[in-house]
Amino acid sequence: MLHGEQISLRPMEREDIERLWEFAQDLDLGLLTGANARPASKVTIEHIYDEHWSGKDPNAIRWAIESHDMVIGGVELAPIDWRSRSAELAVWIGDKVSRQRGFGSDAMRLALNYAFKLLGLNRISYHIPVPNQAALQAYTKIGFKEEGRLRKAIFRDGQYHDLIVLGILAEDWEDDMPFRTGIV
Q: Is a pLDDT exceeding 60 seen at residue 119?
A: yes
Q: What superfamily in CATH does domain 2-172 come from?
A: Gcn5-related N-acetyltransferase (GNAT) (3.40.630.30)
The mean pLDDT value for 109-122 works out to 95
Which ranges of 80-150 does DSSP label H, i.e. alpha helix? 103-113, 133-142
The mean pLDDT value for 71-77 works out to 92
Q: Could you tell me the pLDDT band of residue 183, with boundaries at 50, 70 and 90?
A: very low
Q: Is a pLDDT exceeding 60 seen at residue 177?
A: no
Sign of torsion over alpha carbons 53, 54, 59, 60: positive
The mean pLDDT value for 2-10 works out to 92
Q: Could you tell me the pLDDT band of residue 121, with boundaries at 50, 70 and 90?
A: very high
pLDDT of residue 19: 81
pTM of the model: 0.82
Q: What angle do CA 170, 173, 177 make, to 5 degrees?
A: 130
Residues 135, 29 contacting (CB under 8 angstroms): no
Least confident of 45-49, 82-86, 158-162: 45-49
- Spatial distance between the Cα atoms of 163 and 126, rounded to a whole number of angstroms: 10
pLDDT of residue 35: 53
Q: Is a pLDDT exceeding 60 seen at residue 109?
A: yes
127: left (phi over 0), alpha (psi -120 to 50) or beta: beta
Every domain of the chain and the residues it spans: 2-172
pLDDT of residue 83: 97
Residues 59, 82 contacting (CB under 8 angstroms): yes
Q: Sheet with 61-67: list strands edge to edge.
A: 2-3, 8-11, 61-67, 70-81, 86-93, 123-129, 159-169, 145-156
Helical (H) or strand (E) element with 120: none
pLDDT of residue 37: 54
SS3 string of 79-95?
A: EEECCCCEEEEEEEECC
Q: Is a pLDDT exceeding 70 seen at residue 28?
A: no
Sign of torsion over alpha carbons 34, 172, 7, 60: positive
Q: Is a pLDDT exceeding 60 seen at residue 138?
A: yes
Q: Is a pLDDT exceeding 90 seen at residue 36?
A: no
Percent of the chain with pLDDT over 90: 41
Q: Is a pLDDT exceeding 70 seen at residue 39?
A: no
The mean pLDDT value for 24-31 works out to 60
